[in-house]
Structure 1
């Protein structure tokens, strides 16, 4: 079975601006090994800092108790045993020893002959053996080496293959390979050394990392290196989720990865790293299981004509149907059915036309908005609202706190309050909740508040305010659209008030 080695916590943390805390690293380790089923993880580089030592020690202590210590690996260097001692002291059993895989790196960076470097490597391996450490070898810059100094690569492996090395790891350090060169390069290694275990480590500089991994597996490598969400320096590494989908579907290769856990783990790493996943990122992107065109939704109603093997349930997700200017009746109907609403053909046409009209204005339309669009179109929105924000006014002056006055109608009766706050919306919220306190009505928690402004710097652009709420254990979003940010937030809040009336 193919080995999957995740290096999110080592190579992935080399992403510019990414630094995981101790608790975040412990959480990621648990998610990767226990929840996801990754075979091995590379968690650090040796001798980085005292803080890193303490973090890695916490991880290895947990791994020993949980039975995962043999799945933990640390990058080490040719430094006369200093890295090996660090790795041994921290409680890890495996060193991934960084050596030079190209003639250019040996002669120009180390300024040594291949023979001198080989002797240094051997000394480090023998010392690791004495210390009871398992050894894997990274041949750094191997892709350049096998393309431009093939004999040097063979010289190194010929002289190391009989030493106590578990894995020879072949990195495309600078991301220079393509599927054709990957095939030739990896094939040379697996054909010349059929008895050795080879790992392939791809970088994504040309957006070919996943394709290169697929080809490397085709020609016989035994393990591949990945990161969650493709984290890594420069353009990143091969993304775990994409690699797994390709291996399972295109090569029918078995792995231990639990596909249904991929999206959840990806979202946790997204939160910890602070790097937002692109909406069109394969497998884990927000939009990848969303159909936009109405013809696609129609085809899904007719024996799933627009489905492929990447069905969302495999990855713990569900298929969605976007609402916008490309929406047809089939798209609208899919969303309305999900809400348990029934419309006749005439009303469906009216709603579809309204969604298209809003989509032309580039408004983001969600399933949660549909009941309000339907109410508006069918001229019953005012009647159906249990809570209406009748009026509001703000006072904002330099040097004093903002204040807001709010008048609302609840089930036909009006209430009004005024409150100060740290900004207009905060003051509005405080006034609103004063009314709800008097009415002894529960209120939700505000989880997140974001403002979306179309690019281009237009001062007359519409502003969308998106607010996440938590109420009765459920998290949901409401959106408001207006030329004014605060008024858009008020509209989103009114939507929320009516939603919680029915929860």
Structure 2
């Protein structure tokens, strides 16, 4: 594996407080925004998009409150391609601004704009923003439904205007990984010294895959949200992108993996959006194992059936749970921890009792319950026969 000094850094731009809050029913109080900012800043997120000044005085006041915290990460405001929006953002004091331009025919039609308008606004607004902000980003909204020729011209023009970064937004989540890779490689040369960024939505369940593909293709910046919250099916989840990008040998990420679970659980609680037990990275059950084959292997080497150690996330070691699919190895292991050594015959008997009990209750069995089953059912052969002959309820 390459050393960190030779690996390309990937800039993580969190937009939980902007795009994430656009999820239906999600509305953060100011104190919650402050808490999220502090958590993400302490975790090492490089940049945060913290609001839309054009939403009004209350939004501007909130942005100023966040700026006053003086975090280590760069804070940016999101603007439409309008001079008035940029002026409002300048009054909020963020170190950066993002200016979003529609580039697909369907969005241009809906906004009653044309390609010439987009290019003329680029020429007018980027220099103006550069006079007010240390960092100026421009966005190609709905980039993956835009004509290739126009998208190339947009990137070339934005670079010539002096934009620091160009966001390629998969606004409705229709892009495929192969398309993302081809687009990033095609546009990288045209961007010159201007960095590219990928912003993915999850409508087809590919936001993480598309984002990691963009990183593999050489893009140096990606935008994400905590738990993937956002419009419709949401955005690329911070926690998934960070952990997936860590598997790439030639990339490096500055976000602390040990702080991800706490951040995700906090945002889950305040948005009233529970984390599914099998949710990648943060779900309660993603480091739990029941299969007999898996448990037997993990007792020998935890890496056999896990992509990485749960301790990397600050979580407890892998949990071996007992259920219908458990095998003899894990039963012997649990009983030995309880001070009981089972021979093969007793193990087979206990395995049969346990599987009947698990199927009947449609649940896993705790270690204490397993010991109770052993003590209650195994001493007498007549009881054992009664248990084996009893059929579970359908």
Normalised by the size of structure 2, how large is the TM-score?
0.86
- CA distance in structure 2 between the aligned counterparts of 1:180 and 1:293, rounded to whole angstroms: 35
- 1:376 and 1:160 map into 2 onto residues whose CA distance is 70
| 1:211 to partner: Cα distance | 1.5
Correspondence for 1:156 among 151, 154, 157: 154
Cα distance per residue 1:209-258 (max 9 Å; x no partner): 11211221122211011111111111111112221222111444111011
Residue in structure 2 matched with residue 4 of structure 1 by the alignment: 12
Is 1:342 the counterpart of 2:339? The answer is yes
Q: Rg larger in 1 or in 2? A: 1
Relative to 1, partners in 2 of residues 1:354 and 1:61: Cα closer, same or farther, differing over 3 Å?
farther
In structure 1, the partner of 2:118 is: 117
Q: Relative contact order, CA 8 A, sep 6+: which one is greater? A: 2
Distance 1:20 1:232 in 2: 13
Residue in structure 2 matched with residue 302 of structure 1 by the alignment:
300
Aligned ranges 1:257-272 → 2 under 5 Å:
257-272=255-270
Q: Secondary structure at the match of 1:76?
A: strand
Question: Aligned with 1:345: secondary structure?
Answer: coil
Secondary structure class of the residue paired with 1:91: coil
SS at 1:47's partner residue? helix
Number of the residue aligned with 1:329? 328
For residues 204 and 332 of structure 1, the distance between their equivalents in structure 2, rounded to whole angstroms, comes to: 41
> For the Cα contact (< 8 Å) 2:122–2:161, is it kept in 1?
no
* In 2: Cα distance, 1:232 partner to 1:44 partner: 13
Partner of 1:191: 189
Can you give the 5+ residue segments of structure 1 that lack an aligned partner in the other structure? 381-460, 463-503
Distance 1:193 1:162 in 2: 9
Contact kept, 8 Å, 1:202 with 1:209, in 2: the verdict is yes
Following superposition of structure 1 onto structure 2, how do residues 219-258 of structure 1 map, counting pairs within 5 Å? 219-258=217-256
Rounded to whole Å, the distance in 2 between the matches of 1:110 and 1:379 is 72
Aligned length in residues: 368
Q: Which residue of 2 aligns with 1:90?
A: 92
Question: d(CA) in 1 for partners of 2:38 and 2:354?
Answer: 44
Structure with higher strand content: 1
Cα displacement (A) at 1:80: 2.4
Shift of 1:365: 3.4
Q: Which runs of 5+ in 2 are unaligned?
A: 1-8, 378-392
- Residues in 1 aligned to 2:335 and 2:87: alpha-carbon distance in whole angstroms: 63
TM-score, scaled to structure 1: 0.68
Distance in 1 separating the partners of 2:86 and 2:203: 31
CA positional deviation for 1:335: 5.1
1:371 to 368, 371, 388: 368
Separation in 2, partners of 1:209, 1:251: 21
